Amino acid sequence: MTAKRLRAVVALAVAGAFVLAGCQSGNDADEAPDTSASDTAAASDDAADAADDAAEPAGDNIILANITEPQNPLVPTSTNEVQGGRLVDLLFAGLVYYDAGGNAINEVAESIETEDSQTYTVTLNDGWTFTDGSPVTAQAFTDAWSYGANANNAQLNSYFFESIEGYEELQATEDGDEVDEDGNPIPIPLAAPDAKLSGLTVVDDTHFTVKLVQPESDFPLRVGYSAFYPLPEAAFADMEAFGQNPIGNGPYKFNGPDAWQHEVSIDLIPNPDYQGGRVAQNDGIFFKSYTSPDAAWADLQSGQLDITDLVPDQYLQTFETDLGDRAVNEPAAIFQSFTVPDRLPHFGGEEGLLRRAALSHAINREEITATIFDGTRTPANDYTSPVIAGWSDSIEGADVLEFDEAKAKELWAEADAISPWDGTFKIAYNADGPHQSWVDAVVNSIKNTLGIDAEGDPYPSFAELRTKITDRTIETGFRTGWQADYPSLFNFLGPLYGTGAGSNDGDYSSEEVDSLLSQGLNASNIDDAVAAWQEAQSVLLSDLPAIPLWYQNSLGATSEAVGPVPFGWNSVPLYYQASK
Amino acid sequence: MGWYLGRRVLQAIPVFLGATFLLYLMVFLLPGDPIAAMCGERGCAPAVETALRARYHLDQPFLTQYLLYLKGLLTGDMGVAYSGRAITEVIATAYPVTIKLALMAMAFETIFGVAAGLVAGLRRGGIFDGTVLVLSLLVIALPTFVIGFVAQFVVGVQLGWLPTTVGANQSFMALLMPAMVLAGVSLAYVLRLTRTSVSENASADYVRTATAKGLTRSRVVGVHILRNSLIPVVTFVGADLGVLMGGAIVTEGIFSVPGVGNTLYMAILKGEGPTVVSMVTLLVIVFIVTNILVDVLYALIDPRIRYV
């Protein structure tokens, strides 16, 4: 009896200890060599109640903003997505910055001068320092750019330097001895790990020159992008550590070595040594990491978030009426389209031109943007975006973007006369993004107007869709889009429709477009350049290498405490202007 | 018992190897190219792409990749995530939160589930029993995300009683709502299991004997009925700990909990093989350990079960 009772007591104790046992395994995980986030989490285990709200900063003028964990280390030349981008933009200052209107304003640069649009002389302002105290010299720029361009460093933004002389050499490769899965030799970079861009010459601490491969009149507009930020000496010693804890010269800096709690939050405070025009009007920005827009929205509604650029679908219809001037919904530098490559059956040559024009006329953009997107897209008038200087809504040939059933049928019939249509017209999209509803609407619009079979073709993930597009094995139309890296018309055209350009997914090639694009780049002033690029656009509108759909709008909302906050040309809130 | 435990632990080794291999294979077979996704719509320079592939061993054949990963694992180095962080560090930040959440959820479901199930089982057919049955059916029928969003909106946004999301604030109060939502469905099951088991045992011969011996009601219920009714419950709760830890993706998303579910979800989206495999392997180990614990608990709760 005693033994049995003892066993019962033990059983209960063990049952109770089950919880503790689980706890124990938790602490094991904690013992991994990590000194940041988990320690605070483990510490609060014991004093959970007392630690309420302890993790969030207290302060009257700290702005709480949303973010999603950046995908790459915070090295400017390797930050190619918008989450890391918004941080890098706050942590660094480049030669120029962009104001809310997308205009490039000198920041570290005192001037960027050229006579032939090919060789630029950059003069820096005196007195700028990084947060580690080292000066922002001409070399800080040229070393950073060379680092970004050198293939040995595998920087995601390296193609940004392709127009600078010496880039080709830094990216050259030869076949190595090792082979990959398919038996192809694995190329190895040829350049020395510390090789520099030959087109960059440091004159003295505040002057350097940039020699481009060819004249590019919009180069000064480009250098505000994150790839062109300077790096301090300390960065090159240990880039990995730098990416986790960057030392910049921007309006903000990390609040201590533990400022970045991965997947949780990032804590920025104003940089007192910052000298540019983007002066912080708050005492810090506390970025909270979200994986769903709904969670961010719930926080905004309960006052636990001040700025969000995520609006959940179910609030799109009402958020502007509910929030008034605290809601943001305006066209952004994001252009969306779908591409039907020439090489697909029925889409080559004259037949293809007719069919693409027919497809374009068959899409009711007004209705789709209003009903599917609740007005969060703006029907496209061209291949660029209204936030870019030089944009026009009346380019010759833009009427191909108007919904016109009769015209669509007529053009389709003309194409059928060349070779009768068979099969199903498909638009491929990635199902991990919010694309199904509009693709369905577009194909239905095509189906109803032209009386052909049309459907969406979902891929499980963006990676899969991109792979098929990149290796040119996709046998359908597919969604395409472009978010500008810097506010210039050329950025929407050159990389997408120039012959052999990096993002020319449809392998479009037109001598006329190529020559107009380069004519713009060679122009001595930006107005002449704009004229040439607009002319290139009218060729595009007749060839339709991609069928323009709409511009995506910047969406966002701010809390009552903060009030309206302007969003930049790149849809990222101008955090430094927020205050409460 | 010692032999038994030793055998179980040894059995865990092939399970562990098999699991990592299968997981690695599955992630490897995932269509799509992580480097293409990393480079975005405009793609990287070809030389950069090559260098990136080499850095993450993506240019190697599958078996080499797996063996390299295993070699790293045995030396305590799980590799580096695409974000530049060591995977051990990713795990060390994600797991504590999820473990905390799972344990809170488990405590809820066990305490409230067993208590309510006991009362309902003893007074079968009564008003309490009826109410509890209907309510638990409702909870089982409603998807977790519905309960989650409603709770978040009502309790968090409208009433403002609890924080709407967790994020950096991983206090008990912040985790309370997600833990209750996470526990909801399991709680309903625990309740129903306990209820059935208790009401069966309540009419068993040994209970009648115990009552006839003149034992107090509380002793009959507490020692004779409850203890015997706990076996299915312990099985369920034990297995559920693993589910709570791995299956919290929905709940963690709604409440922005920076735990295993969210991290795993992001890693899968990025096609980040080593991160996915390491995190899931750890989940497998949690499953193995809790299963051994559950089996040991059987023997302690039920004297008829013996291990040799």
Give the DSSP letter string of B49-70.
Answer: HHHHHHHTTTTS-HHHHHHHHH
Residue A232 has pLDDT above 90, yes or no: yes
Q: Do A264 and B167 touch (CB under 8 A)?
A: yes
Residue A460 near residue B31, CB atoms below 8 Å: yes
Is A295 buried (19+), middle (13-18) or exposed (0-12) by CB count in 10 A?
A: buried
pLDDT value at residue A316: 87
Q: Could you tell me if A116 lies within 8 Å of chain B, comparing CB atoms?
A: no
Residue B115 near residue B226, CB atoms below 8 Å: no
Q: Do A33 and B170 touch (CB under 8 A)?
A: no
Q: Which of A396, A403, A408 is nearest to A370 (CA)?
A: A403
Q: Which of A177, A165, A171 is nearest to A189 (CA)?
A: A171
A494 membership: H or E segment, kind and range: helix A489-497
Q: Which residue of chain A comes nearest to B263, CA vs CA? A: A263
**Could you report how far apart the first and last alpha carbons of chain A are, in Å?**
71
Residue A45 has pLDDT above 70, yes or no: no
Three-state secondary structure call for residue A228: helix
Residue A376 has pLDDT above 60, yes or no: yes
Among the residue ranges A84-93, A425-434, A533-542, B61-70, the one predicted with the least confidence is B61-70
Q: Which of B271, B258, B286 is nearest to A37 (CA)?
A: B258
Query: How far does the CA of residue A285 sit from the closest CA of chain B (Å)?
Result: 14
Q: Could you tell me if A336 lies within 8 Å of chain B, comparing CB atoms?
A: no
Q: Could you tell me if B206 lies within 8 Å of chain A, comparing CB atoms?
A: no
pLDDT value at residue A545: 95
- Cα dihedral sign, A129-A135-A137-A140: negative
Backbone φ, ψ for residue A553 (5° rounding): -95, 150
Chain B interface disruption, residue of A75, A175, A264, most B CBs within 10 A? A264
Residue A46 has pLDDT above 60, yes or no: no
Q: Could you tell me if A102 lies within 8 Å of chain B, comparing CB atoms?
A: no
Q: Could you tell me if A428 lies within 8 Å of chain B, comparing CB atoms?
A: no
Residue B226 has pLDDT above 90, yes or no: no
Q: Which residue of chain A comes nearest to B271, CA vs CA? A: A463
Q: Do A156 and B48 touch (CB under 8 A)?
A: yes
Using a CB-CB distance cutoff of 8 angstroms, which residues of chain A are in contact with residue B147? none
Q: Which two tokens stand for residue B217?
A: 């009601």
Q: Where are the alpha helices (DSSP H) in A150-267?
A: 167-171, 219-222, 233-237, 239-244
CA–CA separation, A44 vs A147, rounded Å? 42
The one-letter amino acid at B92: A
User: Looking at residues A337-360, what average pLDDT do you find?
Assistant: 94
Using a CB-CB distance cutoff of 8 angstroms, which residues of chain A are in contact with residue B146? none
Q: Could you tell me if B270 lies within 8 Å of chain A, comparing CB atoms?
A: yes
Residue A293 near residue A274, CB atoms below 8 Å: no
Nearest CB neighbour to B33, from listed A32, A40, A463:
A463
Q: Which residue of chain B comes nearest to A292, CA vs CA? A: B253
Is B24 buried (19+), middle (13-18) or exposed (0-12) by CB count in 10 A?
A: buried
B residues 69-108 lying closer than 8 A (beta carbon) to A = 82-85, 88-97, 99-100, 102-103, 106-107
CA–CA separation, A311 vs B148, rounded Å? 18
Q: Which of A120, A75, A407 is nearest to A246 (CA)?
A: A75
Q: Do B41 and A503 touch (CB under 8 A)?
A: yes
State pLDDT tens for residues B98-137: 888 888 999 999 999 999 999 998 888 888 989 988 998 9
The one-letter amino acid at A514: D
Confidence band of A53 (pLDDT split at 50, 70, 90): very low
Chain A interface disruption, residue of B164, B225, B243, B287, most A CBs within 10 A? B164
Residue A137 near residue A128, CB atoms below 8 Å: no
Chain A interface disruption, residue of B55, B85, B236, most A CBs within 10 A? B85
Q: Could you tell me if A477 lies within 8 Å of chain B, comparing CB atoms?
A: no
Backbone φ, ψ for residue A456 (5° rounding): -80, 155
Residue B24 near residue B65, CB atoms below 8 Å: yes
Q: Which of A580, A574, A578, A579 is nearest to A89 (CA)?
A: A574
Nearest CB neighbour to A55, from listed B32, B99, B170:
B170
Q: How many CA atoms lie within 13 A of A279 on its CB side?
A: 4
Give every CB contact of residue B165 below 8 A, 6+ residues apart in sequence.
A288, A290, A295, A296, A298, A299, A304, B152, B156, B174, B255, B256, B257
Q: Which of A253, A292, A304, A299 is nearest to A68 (CA)?
A: A292
Using a CB-CB distance cutoff of 8 angstroms, which residues of chain B are in contact with residue A30? 92, 95-96
Residue B164 has pLDDT above 90, yes or no: no
Q: Where are the alpha helices (DSSP H) in chain B?
A: 2-29, 34-39, 46-55, 62-74, 87-122, 127-141, 144-151, 172-202, 205-212, 217-219, 227-246, 249-254, 260-270, 273-301
Query: How far does the CA of residue B228 sit from the closest CA of chain A (Å)?
Result: 11
CA–CA separation, B16 vs B34, rounded Å? 26
Q: Which of B53, B54, B57, B52 is nearest to B70 (CA)?
A: B57
Q: Do B46 and A171 touch (CB under 8 A)?
A: yes
CA–CA separation, A119 vs B11, rounded Å? 70
Residue A176 has pLDDT above 80, yes or no: no
Q: Which two tokens stand for residue A363?
A: 């899409």
Q: Do B103 and A72 touch (CB under 8 A)?
A: no
User: Looking at residues A417-424, what average pLDDT do you find?
Assistant: 92
Q: Where are the alpha helices (DSSP H) in A125-267?
A: 138-149, 167-171, 219-222, 233-237, 239-244
Q: Which two tokens stand for residue A234?
A: 């300390």
Q: Could you tell me if A46 lies within 8 Å of chain B, comparing CB atoms?
A: no
Q: Could you tell me if B187 lies within 8 Å of chain A, comparing CB atoms?
A: no
Query: How far does the CA of residue B256 sit from the closest CA of chain A (Å)?
Result: 6
For chain A, the average pLDDT equals 86
The one-letter amino acid at A565: V
State pLDDT tens for residues A111-128: 999 988 899 999 999 999
pLDDT value at residue A254: 95
Q: Do A261 and B168 touch (CB under 8 A)?
A: yes
ipTM over 0.90: no
Q: Are strands A453-459 and A424-430 parallel, antiparallel or unpaired?
A: parallel
| DSSP letters spanning A552-572 | EEEEEEE-TTT----B-TTS-
Residue A54 has pLDDT above 70, yes or no: no
CA–CA separation, A208 vs A113, rounded Å? 11
**The 3-state secondary structure of B137-176, one letter per residue:** HHHHHCCHHHHHHHHHHHHHHHCCCCCCCCCCCCCHHHHH
Highest mean pLDDT range out of A154-168, B230-244, B283-297? A154-168
| DSSP letters spanning A522-536 | H-SSHHHHHHHHHHH
Q: Which residue of chain A comes nearest to B242, CA vs CA? A: A22
Confidence band of A343 (pLDDT split at 50, 70, 90): very high
A residues 12-31 lying closer than 8 A (beta carbon) to B = 14-15, 18-19, 21-23, 25-26, 29-30
Q: Which residue of chain A comes nearest to B255, CA vs CA? A: A295
CA–CA separation, A112 vs A106, rounded Å? 9
State pLDDT tens for residues A263-314: 889 999 999 999 999 999 999 999 998 888 888 999 998 888 999 998 888 8
Confidence band of B247 (pLDDT split at 50, 70, 90): low
Q: Which residue of chain B comes nearest to A503, CA vs CA? A: B42
Nearest CB neighbour to B164, from listed A72, A299, A495:
A299
Q: Could you tell me if B50 lies within 8 Å of chain A, comparing CB atoms?
A: yes
Residue A31 or A433, more confident: A433
Count the neighbouring beta carbons within 10 Å of the beta carbon of residue A179: 14
pTM: 0.77
pLDDT value at residue A452: 94
Query: How far does the CA of residue B241 sit from the closest CA of chain A (Å)?
Result: 9
Q: Do A264 and B168 touch (CB under 8 A)?
A: yes
Q: Could you tell me if A564 lies within 8 Å of chain B, comparing CB atoms?
A: no
Residue A198 or B1, more confident: A198
Residue A428 near residue A477, CB atoms below 8 Å: yes
**Could you report how far apart the first and last alpha carbons of chain B are, in Å?**
6
Using a CB-CB distance cutoff of 8 angstroms, which residues of chain A are in contact with residue B223? 8
Which DSSP category does B221 fall into?
I
Highest mean pLDDT range out of A183-192, A239-248, A498-507? A239-248
User: Looking at residues A320-347, what average pLDDT do you find?
Assistant: 91
Confidence band of A15 (pLDDT split at 50, 70, 90): very low
User: Looking at residues A460-475, what average pLDDT do you find?
Assistant: 86
Q: How many CA atoms lie within 13 A of B55 on its CB side?
A: 19
Helices vs. strands in chain A: H and E counts, helices first: 18, 20
Using a CB-CB distance cutoff of 8 angstroms, which residues of chain A are in contact with residue B293? 18, 21
Nearest CB neighbour to B256, from listed A44, A290, A462:
A290
Residue A31 has pLDDT above 90, yes or no: no
Residue B273 near residue B281, CB atoms below 8 Å: no
Q: Which of B238, B244, B245 is nearest to B292 (CA)?
A: B238
Residue A469 or B268, more confident: A469
pLDDT value at residue A209: 96
Q: Could you tell me if A9 lies within 8 Å of chain B, comparing CB atoms?
A: no
Q: Do A34 and B93 touch (CB under 8 A)?
A: yes
What's chain A's Rg over C-alpha atoms? 27
CA–CA separation, A541 vs A382, rounded Å? 8
Exposure pattern of A461-483 as b/e (b: 16+ CB <10 Å)?
bbbbbbbbbbeeebebbbbbbbb
CA–CA separation, A150 vs A399, rounded Å? 45
Which DSSP category does A373 fall into?
S
CA–CA separation, A442 vs A451, rounded Å? 13
